[in-house]
């Protein structure tokens, strides 16, 4: 019985020895008598030794190829990722393509190990095709993320270190992987965003270009001199070393609001100084306005109450009645 079972599962291009087949036939089924179990185990041990001599070399060689192959791939991956010719590529793109290449190389090593065991290539191709279809249907979202990762690497809308805003997420790009992108928010929280999601979203990259413009609006009372307010805003910009002189800062009255005049201030800075300058201007402008006596008004509402003529007639009639 065991010989027929082994013949049914043996690999097509591996020839089983006649001695092994005879050992299988000699073993037979598990004996019912306890006294015969020792003889049965002896025959089984003989068969296993013959099987190990026949197939043990292939199993050992396949294991050695897989283990050594994986280690060589890891070493090559580390060496190439730090090699000078590849340093000119952007870090996120370099890490992404090296990780994909490592996965493909390891799959090739596994296929080689299967071939050493005697599995025919036609069977391997059939297994890979069937598994690929099954995995593809089960992991549609993951495959979409991989495709999104390739799109991000090819189009490169952002890189590691850029400050992004999309949907409800705002933060700095920490890493770009095969399946997802890691975003570090301002409050030091890590957000894992699938590549498929971010590749199909509208992304605002604050640091895509070396220079950025800070646009702020301030209000002043209608009673304050317009030229004084504009000059005060420009003086604040001149005292800030992080604000560029070329292009020059811009400050002009821009709108008439209900309770105040609105002024627009624009200043060009290096992208990495954007937030520092933004907060510095809010702080420095308030101090400068206080020194110049410029008022920052708050919304006001004047309420006028008109008397009802009928109430006036009633009060007049009531006074005349009292006099009588």
pLDDT per position as a tens digit, 291-310: 999 998 877 666 766 666 66
pLDDT per position as a tens digit, 47-61: 666 666 666 677 788
Q: Confirm if 146 and 195 have CB atoms less than 8 A apart.
A: yes
pLDDT per position as a tens digit, 56-90: 677 788 888 888 888 888 888 878 777 776 666 66
Residue 216 lies in a domain: yes
Please tell me the total count of domains within the chain.
Answer: 3
Residue 152 lies in a domain: no
Nearest to 90 by CA among 141, 35, 152: 152
Average confidence score pLDDT of the chain? 77
Please list, residue by residue across 125-159, b when 16 or more beta carbons sit within 10 angstroms of its beta carbon and e when fewer do: eeeeeeeeeeeeeeeeebebbeebbebbbeeeebb
Provide the domain limits for residue 256. Answer: 211-292
* Banded model confidence at residue 244, pLDDT cuts 50, 70, 90: very high
Residue 317 lies in a domain: no
Task: Read off the pTM.
Answer: 0.51
pLDDT per position as a tens digit, 13-23: 444 455 555 55
End-to-end distance of the chain based on CA atoms, in angstroms?
Answer: 133
Same domain as 110, residue 181:
no
Same domain as 232, residue 109:
no
Nearest to 277 by CA among 244, 231, 229, 232: 244
CATH number of the domain that 175 lies in? 2.30.30.60
Strand, helix or coil at 84?
A: helix
Same domain as 266, residue 163:
no
Residue 302 lies in a domain: no
Tokens of 270: 């290096």
Same domain as 174, residue 86:
no
Based on the number of CB atoms within 10 Å of its own CB, is 260 exposed (0-12), middle (13-18) or buried (19 or more)? buried
Same domain as 176, residue 105:
no
- Asked if residue 250 has pLDDT above 90, the reply is yes
Residue 318 lies in a domain: no
- Asked if residue 223 has pLDDT above 70, the reply is yes
**Residue 321 and residue 317: Cα distance in Å, rounded?**
6
Same domain as 220, residue 199:
no
The residue ranking higher by pLDDT, 171 or 77, is 171
pLDDT at position 52 is: 66
Same domain as 162, residue 87:
no
Same domain as 126, residue 91:
yes
Same domain as 282, residue 161:
no
- Asked if residue 11 has pLDDT above 70, the reply is no
Q: Confirm if 73 and 103 have CB atoms less than 8 A apart.
A: no
Residue 147 lies in a domain: no
């Amino acid at each position: 019985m065991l010989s027929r079972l082994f013949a049914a599962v043996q690999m097509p291009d591996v020839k089983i020895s006649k001695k092994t087949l005879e050992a299988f036939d000699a073993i037979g089924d598990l004996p019912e008598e306890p006294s015969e179990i020792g003889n049965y185990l002896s025959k089984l041990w003989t068969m296993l030794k013959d099987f190990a001599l026949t197939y043990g070399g292939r199993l050992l060689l396949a294991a050695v190829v897989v283990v050594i192959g994986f280690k060589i791939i890891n070493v090559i991956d580390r060496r190439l990722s730090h090699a000078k010719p590849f340093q000119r590529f952007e870090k996120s793109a370099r890490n992404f393509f090296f990780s994909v290449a490592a996965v493909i190389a390891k799959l090739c090593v596994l296929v080689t190990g299967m071939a050493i065991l005697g599995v025919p290539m036609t069977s391997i191709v059939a297994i890979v095709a069937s598994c690929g279809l099954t995995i593809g249907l089960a992991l549609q979202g993951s495959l979409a993320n991989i495709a999104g990762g390739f799109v991000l690497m090819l189009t490169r809308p952002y890189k590691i270190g850029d400050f992004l805003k999309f949907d409800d997420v705002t933060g700095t790009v920490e890493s770009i992987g095969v399946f997802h992108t890691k975003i570090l928010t301002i409050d030091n929280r890590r957000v894992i965003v699938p590549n498929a999601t971010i590749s199909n979203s509208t992304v605002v990259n604050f640091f895509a270009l070396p220079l950025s413009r800070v646009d702020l609006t301030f209000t002043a009372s209608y009673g304050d001199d317009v030229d004084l307010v504009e000059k005060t805003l420009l003086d604040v910009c001149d005292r800030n070393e992080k604000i560029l002189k070329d292009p020059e800062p811009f400050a002009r009255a821009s709108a008439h609001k209900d309770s105040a005049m609105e002024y627009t201030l624009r200043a060009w800075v290096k992208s990495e100084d954007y937030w520092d300058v933004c907060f510095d201007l809010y702080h420095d402008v308030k101090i400068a306005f206080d020194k110049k006596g410029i008022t920052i008004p708050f919304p006001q509402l004047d309420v006028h109450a008109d008397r009802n003529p009928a109430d006036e007639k009633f009060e007049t009639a009531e006074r005349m009645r009292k006099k009588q």
